[in-house]
Amino acid sequence: MRRPPLLGLPVVAVDPGSPAHDAGIAPGDLVRAVDGVPISDLLDFQFRTADGARTLTVVRGGADLELRVAFEAGEDAGLEFGEELADGIHSCVNKCVFCFIHQMPRGMRRSLYVMDDDFRLSFTHGNYVTLTNLTPEEFDRILEQRLSPLYVSVHATDPDLRGRLLGKKEPAPILPALRTLAEHRIDVNAQVVLCPGLNDGAALRRTVHELAELHPGASGLRCGVQSVAVVPVGLTRFRERLPKLEAADAAYAAAMLREVTRWGVALARRIGTRFVWLSDEWYNLAAKPVPSARHYEDFPQYEDGVGTIRSFLDAARRVERRLPPEAAAPVTGSVITARLAAPVVSSFVDRLNAVEGVSLQTLVVTNRFFGDTINVAGLMTGQDILATLCEHPGPGPVYLPSICVKDGDIFLDDMTVGGLASATGRRIIIVDITPASLAQAVGLL
């Protein structure tokens, strides 16, 4: 598989008096190799400089310089890079039947259409990868540098079914790769995007069972598949010329809750962990309360939306105990949320309103842009938030979850926070999606 040519890691700052400074490295240089070995990213650089002094190949003004950097093992060389990846994001060539990017309209900014399948971003940021876009050299590098844990999109362990789900013409086996990772002491957190009628039923039971056999509690190895998250397929209104898929409904979700809960109890007895968890959307679909924190153990799949509502509820209780009986100054405003989090956010806002002098309204945004089956805050657009604010005007600032804007300013549809403020005539305040952040933003903590 071809990769873009290596350009190097751009140096944007050098600590004064650091080993890199003493060696003559300067901002604007490109670090391209360590001891003659080309580096493709920050992880590679850190791995190859972990034992101390190295000779760096630095590009300056189009010429290569060999600079010896003297430092001890574990010591920081003193370099700050402007990019993590010297060769760009490794893209995905799969055509997954459920791919969200294929379900987006045309005309949005180019970065939204980038389909990454980069093992480095899996290790550093928890992005899910299929492992089907790796070169043999890259897989060997994972083993050599022991990049653990990785987050792997499995979807099905049946090779033929997995191939169909990934839009490939050939089988896409995953178990051999997972076994090799486990044998090299690399942990994996797995994901299943559940498509009703495709990888559910017997296929899902097989997937969970075979993945559980790679858990250390079953395999006897030190590492392996540590957890599985099952998330429902997300379908937008832009599924043109794409495979026909069905969304889960309330009855389907309720049945899934019963079955996966039963599996979790049995697995906990056998391998010491529930191992398989359902994302919060399933509980919302089934109109069921989320389990206690104990159910989620150490929240291994939190970034995949498993246990986020429970975490919010428990954090809200802790914040509520710290609220004053009266606000120091009158508090008004609108708190924006999406449908998935609406019940817990509304409940917490009600508790804030119990403080004397506080009058906040909760506004639930319907996702007209992607379709009302999309119910998470991270996919709210500026135009939908604007429509909601116009339909429900009110005094005071608008409190907006940070997850729906890029760099604190740009929505998915390219509307800016400033544009939203101008259109509504209201101050927009970006807050993290935690009870404490909201309570602090309105001046109650």
Could you tell me if residue 87 is inside a domain? no
Q: Which is nearest to 100 in space by CA: 325, 374, 310, 344?
A: 374
Give the distance between the most distant pair of CA atoms in the chain. Answer: 68
Last residue of a domain, one of 237, 272, 305: 305
DSSP 198-237: TSSHHHHHHHHHHHHTTSHHHH-SSS-EEEEEEEEPP--T
The pLDDT of residue 345 is above 90: yes
Last residue of a domain, one of 28, 52, 81: 81
Domain range holding 358? Answer: 314-441
At 240, the pLDDT band (50, 70, 90 cuts) reads confident
Q: What is the pLDDT of residue 228?
A: 98
Model pLDDT for residues 403-419, shown as the tens digit of each residue: 999 988 999 999 999 99
Could you tell me if residue 275 is inside a domain? yes
Model pLDDT for residues 301-340, shown as the tens digit of each residue: 999 999 999 999 999 999 999 999 999 999 999 999 999 9
Residue 309, exposed/middle/buried by CB under 10 A (0-12, 13-18, 19+)?
Answer: buried
Phi-psi region of 397 (alpha: psi -120 to 50; beta: other; left: phi over 0): beta
Q: What is the pLDDT of residue 207?
A: 98
65 and 126: one domain?
no
The pLDDT of residue 393 is above 80: yes
Could you tell me if residue 416 is inside a domain? yes
pLDDT-wise least confident of 64-68, 194-198, 256-260: 64-68
| pTM as predicted | 0.90
Q: What is the pLDDT of residue 261?
A: 96
At 73, the pLDDT band (50, 70, 90 cuts) reads confident
State mean pLDDT over 223-228.
Answer: 98
Which sign does the torsion angle of CA 74, 78, 80, 86 carry? negative
398 and 421: one domain?
yes
CA dist., res. 373 & res. 253, Å (int): 14
Domain of residue 135, CATH code: 3.80.30.10
State mean pLDDT over 56-83.
Answer: 90
At 6, the pLDDT band (50, 70, 90 cuts) reads low
Which distant-in-sequence residues (6+ apart) come within 8 Å of 184 by Cβ?
143, 146
320 and 300: one domain?
no
140 and 283: one domain?
yes
At 3, the pLDDT band (50, 70, 90 cuts) reads low
Could you tell me if residue 284 is inside a domain? yes
109 and 215: one domain?
yes
Model pLDDT for residues 348-388, shown as the tens digit of each residue: 999 999 999 999 999 999 999 999 889 999 999 999 999 99
Choice between 142 and 87, residue whose per-residue pLDDT is larger: 142
Q: What is the pLDDT of residue 307?
A: 97
Could you tell me if residue 91 is inside a domain? no
CA dist., res. 156 & res. 173, Å (int): 9
Q: What is the pLDDT of residue 112?
A: 79
138 and 278: one domain?
yes
At 5, the pLDDT band (50, 70, 90 cuts) reads low
CA dist., res. 287 & res. 395, Å (int): 32
Structure-token pair, residue 321:
């105990």
CA dist., res. 88 & res. 8, Å (int): 10
Model pLDDT for residues 98-113, shown as the tens digit of each residue: 998 889 888 787 777 8
Tell me which amino acid residue 356 is: E
Domain of residue 328, CATH code: 3.40.50
Could you tell me if residue 93 is inside a domain? no
Looking at the structure of the chain, the number of domains it has is 3
The pLDDT of residue 87 is above 90: no
- Determine what percent of the chain is predicted with pLDDT higher than 90: 85
The pLDDT of residue 7 is above 90: no
The pLDDT of residue 119 is above 80: yes
Choice between 207 and 7, residue whose per-residue pLDDT is larger: 207
CB 130: neighbour CB atoms within 10 A? 23
Task: Please tell me what DSSP assigns to residue 71.
Answer: -
193 and 298: one domain?
yes
The pLDDT of residue 4 is above 70: no
Model pLDDT for residues 138-162, shown as the tens digit of each residue: 999 999 999 999 999 999 999 999 9
3-state secondary structure of 399: strand
Last residue of a domain, one of 305, 336, 365: 305
43 and 153: one domain?
no
